[in-house]
Amino acid sequence: MAGVITQFIQTLIYGLIEGSVISVGAVGLTLSYGVTRFINFAYGEFLTYGAYITLFLSGTGIGISLSLPVSVVGAVLLVGVFGVIISRVFFEPLSTRGPIPLLITSIGVAFILRYSLTAAVGVSARQLPVPLMRPVEFFGVGTTPIRATVFVVAIATMLLIHILLKYTMLGKTMRATSGNRNLAEIAGIDTKGVIRRTWFISAGAGALAGVLYAILFAPFRPTIGFEYLIVIFAATLLGGIGRPYGAMLGAIVVGIAMSLGTTYLSAEYTMAYAFAILVGVLLFNPTGIAGSEI
């Protein structure tokens, strides 16, 4: 009996850790949706590029060899800028044509980014320079310091986003732009500037989620973002599309559900559990836990 309880608690811990990583990606996606009003299918590539830029900066035999934390920060900033460029080149010119052209364009952009990266780096599995560490256990339950660090970084990111949304002028203008863009413009808000800054934050969050995921589930390939995107969609829709705090909660639920399914059903269908949650939300509660809107 004690062994069963220990296994269950351990499964919950793994689910919370993975859910915290999902929450970083889900919040980034839901923030961009909140001010642009379309679901960006190219978002998964921000995760991929975050992982690979971190790999590049942390040492790939071409003269660049930064520490892993510095490499992560550099990747987040670079992908954030990249996200702004992508939005200005592909999405801003179509912003007045409705969500369908934007949605189709985002799918095309996703393919361009994915296959461009594949052509550059190949399809071989890669791994970030993360040291191997023994688990730290208490009463038979525990985790590795690396997983604990991933959890802390994810929680700290959620706290920073909370502070941004609630206590900064940018957060207020983001909420105003999301609520009514025309009214925000009449009030004197530079909505284009707000949208671009939101793209920077969204893409940066995606990059960080990709790095954290690559650390947890090494090794990784250029399809890492595309494969994980369905999980992020499930969390975002479960929490309520456009609801950052709902996305956080939805991510934790999805992470725990995936961990429980992997432990007690089959590890071969981990992504299927997320897909089942996604379909269930669409069928029975399309507005999610927190409803829609930012």
- Domain for residue 41, yes or no? yes
Q: What pLDDT is attached to residue 180? A: 79
The segment with the largest mean pLDDT, out of 49-53, 60-64, 162-166, 287-291, is 49-53
Omega cis (within 30) before 135: no
Q: pLDDT (tens digit, 9 = 90+) per residue, 39-60?
A: 899 999 999 999 999 999 987 6
**Percentage of the chain surpassing pLDDT 90?**
40
Rg for the chain, CA atoms, rounded: 19
Contact present, 24 and 158 (Cβ < 8 Å): yes
Q: How far apart are CA 86 and CA 67, in angstroms?
A: 28
- Domain for residue 90, yes or no? yes
And the tokens for 288? 């999610």
Q: pLDDT (tens digit, 9 = 90+) per residue, 11-39?
A: 899 999 999 999 999 999 998 888 888 88
- Domain for residue 65, yes or no? yes
- Domain for residue 289, yes or no? no
Q: Pick from 64, 44, 42, 39: which is nearest to 54 by CA?
A: 64
- Domain for residue 7, yes or no? no
User: Is a pLDDT exceeding 80 seen at residue 258?
Assistant: yes
- Domain for residue 215, yes or no? yes
Q: pLDDT (tens digit, 9 = 90+) per residue, 225-241?
A: 988 898 998 888 888 77
Structurally, the chain folds into a number of domains equal to 1
Q: pLDDT confidence of 214, banded at 50, 70, 90?
A: very high
Q: What pLDDT is attached to residue 225? A: 92
Q: What pLDDT is attached to residue 132? A: 74
Beta-bridge mates of residue 138: 141
Q: pLDDT (tens digit, 9 = 90+) per residue, 128-159?
A: 988 777 777 766 677 888 999 999 999 999 99
Contact present, 58 and 129 (Cβ < 8 Å): yes
User: Is a pLDDT exceeding 80 seen at residue 179?
Assistant: no
Q: What pLDDT is attached to residue 178? A: 79
- Within 8 A by CB and 6+ apart from 101, the residues are 94
Domain enclosing residue 268, as ranges: 20-128+147-284
- Domain for residue 170, yes or no? yes
The CATH number assigned to the domain holding 277 equals 1.10.3470
Q: How far apart are CA 214 and CA 265, in angstroms?
A: 24
| Inter-CA distances, 227 with 46, 70, 211, 215, Å | 12, 26, 14, 16
Contact present, 292 and 240 (Cβ < 8 Å): yes
| Average pLDDT value over all residues in the chain | 86
User: Is a pLDDT exceeding 70 seen at residue 290?
Assistant: no
And the tokens for 80? 């954030």
User: Is a pLDDT exceeding 70 seen at residue 61?
Assistant: no
Q: What pLDDT is attached to residue 139? A: 63
Q: pLDDT (tens digit, 9 = 90+) per residue, 275-287?
A: 787 777 777 776 6
Q: Pick from 46, 54, 73, 32: which is nearest to 224 by CA?
A: 46
Q: What pLDDT is attached to residue 287? A: 66
> HEC string of 71-110?
HHHHHHHHHHHHHHHHHHHHHHHHCCCCHHHHHHHHHHHH
- Domain for residue 180, yes or no? yes
- Within 8 A by CB and 6+ apart from 231, the residues are 22, 25, 254, 258, 271, 274
Q: pLDDT confidence of 2, banded at 50, 70, 90?
A: low
Mean pLDDT of 119-132: 87
- Helices 224-239 and 270-284, interaxial angle, to 10°? 30
